[in-house]
A and B are shown apart, each in its own frame.
Chain A
Amino acid sequence: MVENLRLSLESLRANKMRSFLTMLGIIIGISSVIAVISVGNAMTASVNNQFAEFGINNVSLGVQMRANESGGFDMTVTKTPKDTDRISNEQIETMRQRFPEIETLALSEDAGRGKAKIGRKYSNVSLTGVNTGYAKANKVKMALGRYISDADVRSARSVVVVSDRTAAALYGSNESALGQNISVYTDKAIKQFAIIGIYKYTQSSAMGVAASDRDLETSGYIPVSSAKKDSPYKNFTSLTVIPKQGTELNDFTNRISAYLNKLYERNKEWEAYAYNMKSELESTNSMMKTLSMAIAAIAGIALIVGGIGVMNIMLVSVTERTHEIGVRKALGAKDAHIRMQFVAEAVALSATGGVIGIVLGVGLGMIGARIVGAPFELSAYVVSGTVLFSMFIGVFFGYYPANKAARLNPIDALRYE
């Protein structure tokens, strides 16, 4: 066995150019498989991360303009739903009771944007009215103090949870910001809030990059009831719910969509929607998978072509070395010895091609991952799998020529010139 390996590596070396050309098909095949798989994985991972940021189990509910008869929307008129077209607090409560699987219900209301100022220091804040469920649905992480509570909402308190960026800009630290009163200057009014908590700001990949770090605008969370005080609308156009663990998400989404649309049955202009990211994630993932498979299939064809190249060169090699085979048989080589020798040579050829292909594929994969902006990852499974597969190609396509060599009649092989 060791002897065979030594022999095959030697014959590889003896025919460098020929071996390389033969390996080319395998190199191209393997490297494209590796590159495609690693770039595909990187893309899938980055898409999954983005979805995870939104909350993969969140179900978004809301009202939207009803599609007209032809199935489209009238693009020329944009309407704002009247308060009666919106989802009311009572409807939300009834829904919550109808769907006990709802674990968290997040409400939000835009309360305008402005500058929080102290002397010459300022911070851009976008005020958002929220309920307690909002923190979970939007993955708000507290750094200090507490988040908006049910009591805050019930009493419509003038309290705010600001980002650590705002705290740093205005007070220098989270600790000194906590408990302070701040004024937020919006275009309509100056609003006063007591800071009850500071959350950790995380740059969302979905949001654009701020002009400068100084002007970065972060959310300031206030009780949704406080936000409603200044709003002409008492009801909501959208909300987010998270069902309890183990709820079948798509089924839940369909049921809640049907339930809400029942409320909008008579409404000619507006209808309810419900969707979740999971099905979108799934369809994106399956699209990616299909794409990867298609490219992998092309790579597979390259591998087969490479394998045929191996077979071709092995047939040439057997013919060239017929006399040598005869000598070996005269010295007592059994068919199996000769077969092993040539199979080992084909495997050495294809496995060497495979290893070169992996190195090349990893390089291409790294470049590709950088282009799509995702971290490069390569599993040991893929590497060992492709090495084994390229060896298998060697065995598969090397067997026929090797067997042909093994079956040669000793005297005919020996007399072959």
Chain B
Amino acid sequence: MIQMRNVFKRYFADTPNEITVLNGIDLSIGSGEFVAIVGQSGSGKSTLMNIIGALDQPTSGEYELGGTPIQQMNRDDLAEIRNRKIGFVFQSFNLIPRNSALKNVELPMVYAGTKASERSRRAKRLLEMMEMDERMNHFPSELSGGQKQRVAIARALANDPDILLADEPTGALDSKTGNLVMEIFLRIHREERKTILFITHSSELAELCPRVVTIKDGQIVSDKAGTNSGGRLHG
């Protein structure tokens, strides 16, 4: 599903201020894997994930998504990939403030050109799945953090993508709500067989994942199975 070879990301390249954020990443993630990405702040986790999600481009190296090299794609093709193949979940939710929960979930389908009736039918079903159907006409400002994140997950699933990319989805939530969100991801992985990449600072959550990739200074320093994978969250 995801194939990276010798990927570098540099800012201010060829100037005295040059910084290397990703320093030769080789990463291969198969279909249906659940991978936690951990590492210190500033180590390059988000940068890596943004490149995987076709939001950003590597300075050098090769990256193939589902067998297609990303470098040769134009802006519209990349938008199409983000729209159909990838679902993003962010730490700060990133819901559109002036849209209701339902309209937020519909948005990726609007960009996919789905019919209005089909759009709202599917958005309602996804919100139901997230147990948010009672709040579907509420605006983001009227929702709690955990509720917002559940709407955001429903939105990420709107176009039934192959890959879910979650950048610290529990980072802005208390541990109890965070665990709840983690449960949702585990359930999605179990039931929908989606490939999930999950950035977290919580070692407890990371160890629940079948695979844990640790990044330090833009390099992968460890890549192993979670010690508690298949285990249960307590609390």
Interface residues of A (CB under 8 A from B): 2-3, 7, 10-11, 14, 323-324, 327-337, 410-411, 414
B94 close to A329 (CB less than 8 A): no
B53 within 8 A of A: yes
B96 close to A334 (CB less than 8 A): no
A14 to B110, CA, bound (A): 22
Interface residues of B (CB under 8 A from A): 50, 53, 55-56, 75-76, 78-80, 82-84, 88, 94, 96-98, 107-108, 110-112, 116, 155, 159
Closest chain A CB from B187 CB (angstroms): 22
A10 to B97, CA, bound (A): 11
Provided the pairs A331-B88, A332-B108, A333-B111 are in contact, do residues A411 and B56 lie with their beta carbons within 8 angstroms?
yes
B76 close to A332 (CB less than 8 A): no
| Besides A329-B55, A333-B83, 14 other A-B contacts (C-beta < 8 A) | A3-B110, A14-B98, A323-B94, A324-B97, A331-B107, A332-B79, A332-B80, A332-B111, A332-B112, A334-B76, A334-B80, A410-B56, A410-B82, A411-B55
A332 to B97, CA, bound (A): 18
In the bound complex, residues from chain B placing their C-beta under 8 Å from that of A410 are 55-56, 78, 82
Interface centre among A2, A331, A335 (most CB of B within 10 A): A331
Q: Which of A14, A327, A328, A335 lies in contact with B75, CB distance below 8 A?
A: A335
Instruction: Report, nearest first, the 7 A-B pairs whose CB atoms are least far apart.
Output: A332-B83, A411-B56, A334-B79, A332-B111, A327-B94, A411-B55, A331-B108
Closest chain B CB from A386 CB (angstroms): 30
A333 to B111, CA, bound (A): 6
In the bound complex, residues from chain A placing their C-beta under 8 Å from that of B78 are 410
For B57, the closest partner residue in chain A by CB is A411
B75 close to A331 (CB less than 8 A): no
B96 close to A330 (CB less than 8 A): no
Provided the pairs A10-B98, A324-B96, A337-B111 are in contact, do residues A330 and B75 lie with their beta carbons within 8 angstroms?
no
Closest chain B CB from A336 CB (angstroms): 8
Closest chain A CB from B234 CB (angstroms): 33
A7 to B111, CA, bound (A): 14
For B104, the closest partner residue in chain A by CB is A331
A230 to B152, CA, bound (A): 106
B55 close to A333 (CB less than 8 A): no
For A331, the closest partner residue in chain B by CB is B108
For A332, the closest partner residue in chain B by CB is B83
B79 close to A329 (CB less than 8 A): yes
Q: Which of A2, A327, A336, A411 lies in contact with B96, CB distance below 8 A?
A: A327
A335 to B152, CA, bound (A): 22
Q: Which of B55, B80, B116 lies in contact with A330, CB distance below 8 A?
A: B55
Interface centre among A2, A7, A14, A411 (most CB of B within 10 A): A411
A411 close to B112 (CB less than 8 A): no
Closest chain B CB from A43 CB (angstroms): 48
A332 close to B55 (CB less than 8 A): no
Closest chain A CB from B126 CB (angstroms): 14
In the bound complex, residues from chain B placing their C-beta under 8 Å from that of A334 are 75-76, 79-80, 111
For A410, the closest partner residue in chain B by CB is B55
In the bound complex, residues from chain A placing their C-beta under 8 Å from that of B112 are 332
Interface centre among A14, A330, A336, A411 (most CB of B within 10 A): A330
A47 to B169, CA, bound (A): 76
In the bound complex, residues from chain A placing their C-beta under 8 Å from that of B110 are 3
In the bound complex, residues from chain B placing their C-beta under 8 Å from that of A7 are 98
A328 to B55, CA, bound (A): 11
Closest chain A CB from B138 CB (angstroms): 16
In the bound complex, residues from chain B placing their C-beta under 8 Å from that of A10 are 98
B98 close to A328 (CB less than 8 A): no
In the bound complex, residues from chain A placing their C-beta under 8 Å from that of B108 are 331-332
In the bound complex, residues from chain A placing their C-beta under 8 Å from that of B83 are 331-333
In the bound complex, residues from chain B placing their C-beta under 8 Å from that of A411 are 50, 55-56
A183 to B95, CA, bound (A): 98
Closest chain B CB from A334 CB (angstroms): 4
In the bound complex, residues from chain A placing their C-beta under 8 Å from that of B107 are 328, 331
In the bound complex, residues from chain A placing their C-beta under 8 Å from that of B79 are 329, 332-335
B53 close to A330 (CB less than 8 A): yes
Closest chain B CB from A348 CB (angstroms): 14
For B51, the closest partner residue in chain A by CB is A411
Closest chain A CB from B141 CB (angstroms): 12
In the bound complex, residues from chain B placing their C-beta under 8 Å from that of A336 are 76
B76 close to A335 (CB less than 8 A): yes
Closest chain A CB from B49 CB (angstroms): 11
In the bound complex, residues from chain A placing their C-beta under 8 Å from that of B53 are 330
Closest chain A CB from B206 CB (angstroms): 24
Closest chain B CB from A325 CB (angstroms): 11
B56 close to A11 (CB less than 8 A): no
Listed A/B pairs (5) with beta-carbon separation below 8 Å: A2-B116, A330-B94, A331-B82, A333-B83, A410-B82
A411 to B88, CA, bound (A): 13
A3 to B83, CA, bound (A): 17
A10 to B99, CA, bound (A): 9
In the bound complex, residues from chain B placing their C-beta under 8 Å from that of A14 are 98
In the bound complex, residues from chain B placing their C-beta under 8 Å from that of A330 are 53, 55, 82, 88, 94
Provided the pairs A3-B110, A334-B111, A411-B50 are in contact, do residues A329 and B98 lie with their beta carbons within 8 angstroms?
no
A343 to B76, CA, bound (A): 19
In the bound complex, residues from chain B placing their C-beta under 8 Å from that of A329 are 55, 79, 82
Closest chain B CB from A91 CB (angstroms): 86
In the bound complex, residues from chain B placing their C-beta under 8 Å from that of A328 are 96, 107, 111
Closest chain B CB from A338 CB (angstroms): 10
